[in-house]
Structure 1
Amino acid sequence: MENSKKVLIVTYYWPPAGGPGVQRWLKFAKYLPEFGWEPIIYTPENPSYPLVDETLTKEVPKDLKIVKTNIWEPYQIAEKFSKSNKKFKGGQFDVGKNQSLVSKLSIFIRGNFFIPDARKFWVKPSIKFLKNYLTENHIDTIVTTGPPHSLHLIGLGLKKELPNLKWIADFRDPWTEISYYKHLKLTSDSDRKHRELEKSVFKNADLTLATSYTDAENFRKNGANAFCVTNGFDKNVESLNREIVKNDIDSLTILQNNNSTKFTLSYVGVLEQLRNPENLWKALIALSEKYQDFAKDFELKFVGRVDDKILNQIENSVLKNNIKNLGYLAHDESVKEMESSDLLLITNFPNESSKGIIPGKLFEYLATGKKIISFGPKNADVETILHKTKAGKHFDYSETFEIQEFIFLLYEDWKNGKSIQNSANINEFSRRELTKELAGKLESLSV
């Protein structure tokens, strides 16, 4: 990497952190050297992760330079008083009547006392440390990735200290436009502080990255020089396309042999109350009550953490014997469960402001070649991608009969031995192609 340009990536989530948040920059770091950039990771020495996946450490490139400093964060103290702190540390919130007094108080404190978030105590020490580190190592380009959005304040502080520094602010999720923002019980003063900090990041970053088309557009409206580089999948696309061949009897036989004896709908990841597709459960209940064969053949599989109240809702229905709850699995095991499914579920928040959220697992779903059923607001970016790739169908939270029809037609094809795989060309969403796009943006800043 002697002739490579250096870029420092400031990230809170890094292996052994689990969940989708760690994947984006882990994969960019893997492929950046191919395009003339040497990534250097800056991450906490002692973070408090909501999920841990030790298997992801195997994916860290062996020659990757990783710099760590200590962080102090209040979550360990808070968790002694309330389990809900573990939930909203991972982006989950109890809502409405499900909120206890302790939960309400915890959320109020989180939103108003820790602005922008509880990792804010790492900002000043990091600015002090990195100012010297960047200068001594002749690094003039940095990336900050959030959430936690406090990491963008590290970039903001360094930009003021080092005016010639090139800074990319990467938003894996929006800041004030994220759906749970309105549930933080913010005072008007706290809301103003959040929005002022966000605008300052947009104004001062040389480039703001968004993971969706809508987010990039919204960021531009708020003064950012924003561009979309979506998340993606890391799989050999040519071999994937060879696996999915229409009217190929041998391929069809292989695919059928890989499936279980159940018609399986799977959800992989964290499912909280704010993204609960209740109309899907109603559709599945209706199908099970109407068709005996469907009730016998159907399996609803959860891989990850499902809110107890959602699980109880389903278990207290005719679907109780169709549930297979595997809990959280290592990433490679989760992928195997995706590949052994027939239909993959993805959910988003129902409100209009969330149409720009593209969950990272959508791209892993695409890589499996399995059909996808999606829930969220109308005209969402997920819907755009599903339409473009012909990989599945998107529904809003008011539809029920249309869902029944979509699922039952797939079930009938499965029952009759027909392939329900996808055959779309999804190469543009491969991690390598996306990194190539990112490298082009880095080059444009360094000119």
Structure 2
Amino acid sequence: MTYDIDAVRSHFPALEAGGAHFEGPAGTQTPRQVIDAIAEVLSNPLSNRGAATAGERNADRTVTGARRAMADLLGADPAGVVFGRSATQLTYDFARTLAKTWTPGDEVVVTRLDHDANIRPWVQAARGAGVTVRWADFDPATGELSPGDIGAVLSERTRLVAVTGASNLIGTRPDLPGIARLAHERGALFYVDGVHHAAHSFVDVGLLGADFYVCSPYKFLGPHLGVLAAAPGLLEGLAPDKLAPSTDVVPERFELGTLPYEFLAGVIAAVDFLAGLADGGPSSPGDTGDRRQRLARSFAALEEHEEGLRRRMEEGLAGLAPVTLRSRAADRTPTLLLTLEGRDTQDAYRHLAGLGVTAPSGSFYALEASRRLGLGDTGGLRAGLAPYNNTQDVDRLLEGLADFLRRPSR
């Protein structure tokens, strides 16, 4: 098993501009194979799904192929893969749908670690249904969210527990199987926001215990849309609002309007690219094992590569005063949140941008987490890794920060 970073980088046209990209948690750059797949679908006959014409067959083949690709990526059933405009939109849709099954006095659990897209839809749906919201806290000193933190707010009336798979702000990866066991013991459903998690972890929704797992392909080299995975039988028991003529078949009953076929083609290409990361890029005829097996190999190689870069970043940051690293959990993604005592991280962001290094500043929609860390709505400087980052990128980031800190504050 290898990770040839130069071979991986060669597939990304955006890198030819010379920038060092640390905005992966907000969205990754795109490999040529994904771009070409999108263009190919749009260059051939295309229509609504069916079997009579070439355009209908192309659309149908693209949709079914994308469901299989995402099922392979997530260890899910293709018949339970739902596509939507974004993870936020899908979560709102499912919050409204699940709220129909709640009654006053029921409870839902959200956490202060989560992105607001896995908080506000549930809070608002609960308000409309007369349901109580229980908040699970995390330890701001360590960044840890434990099963015990969730267990402390569960009751016999808990109907749903919503937890991040990985914090997009500080990288914390909670113990999802442990949380799932506690939720299921109470008869509650477990909804996992995997938007940041799926970009850095080999996912198996069954082993995680997730009843619903939502993610966004543009966080892992694909196009902008959302994906939700659930057991088909669970979806069969839910009745979403939809148009009268639209199908009642699962999973299509949850997909409102015509799907973006060109983006689904990009999803297939992105998953195929990820499956070949251990060999420098997209899958090749010489690859052994099926796509799921190749994805396992590739994510093992990717995690080793990203962990090495994360250690390099952390060791370099340790020598830079007055930098405070807020990403401290024992199990975390290669995503670092920094604050600079006496300095504005927005100024640092702009300084780095002038050097061709993209590491944005903010709370990144993780408002509750930022506030719990004592950072208000301002947050900090976030540097997140992606499959194409290399040691030169890391060194440019460290040198740029050192240069910024040497300059007098305004």
Fold match by TM threshold 0.5: no
Rg larger in structure = 1
- TM-score, length-normalised on structure 2? 0.30
More contact order relative to length (CA 8 Å, sep ≥ 6): 2
